[in-house]
Homo-oligomer: A and B are copies of this chain.
Amino acid sequence: MLVRMENAERDGADEDSTCEAGRLAALPSRLLARAAAISGRIVGDGLAAAGSHRYQYAVLATLAEFGPASQADLARRTGLDRSDMVPTIATLEAAGLVARAVDATDRRRNIVSLTGPGTARLAELDALVDRLQAEATAPLDADEATRLVALLGRLVRHHGGRWR
């Protein structure tokens, strides 16, 4: 399989000695790693500047979409580790953005739910994240970004749909 880029589709930036170049730069795994690092930094910094964190955003967005859930369910739905869930929920609860209550029907579980302030906060963060995603996928237009998402989605789903 040959998936290297040769010289097609350059974006204007010439190679220089302070920038990696060559066959290596066209390997899918390396491009994925760099694109992930770039987008991760943009989204992480943007959320941090707004006083949040991608773990928090993942929890809030998942609660809004699926409704109240135990921490274990949230971990599965967000892809976060169960142990990283604990301080994330604690921070959100301290900020009044979620409520945590022992499940009366299964007292092992905490039922986590969005509060009113949490819903409002999520609306702000949704708008912010939309801008950050657009920044992260620049210079692709909306159509190209959609194609990228479709390709990545198929790749990720093919490889088991889970992290480990």
| Interface set of A (CB-CB < 8 Å, partner B) | 1-5, 8-13, 17-40, 42-43, 58, 61-62, 65-66, 73, 76-79, 129-134, 136-140, 142, 144-159, 161-163
Contact = CB atoms under 8 A, between A and B. Distances in A.
Nearest to A8: B150
> Copy number in this complex?
2
Contacts of A65: 22-24
Nearest to A157: B11
A29 B22 contact: no
A158 B12 CA distance: 9
Given A1-B145, A32-B152, 19 more contacts: A3-B149, A5-B150, A9-B153, A11-B158, A17-B76, A18-B162, A20-B76, A20-B77, A22-B77, A24-B65, A28-B148, A28-B152, A29-B133, A32-B35, A34-B152, A36-B36, A38-B159, A138-B155, A139-B155
A19 B161 contact: yes
A67 B36 CA distance: 30
Given A137-B3, A156-B35, A18 B76 contact: yes
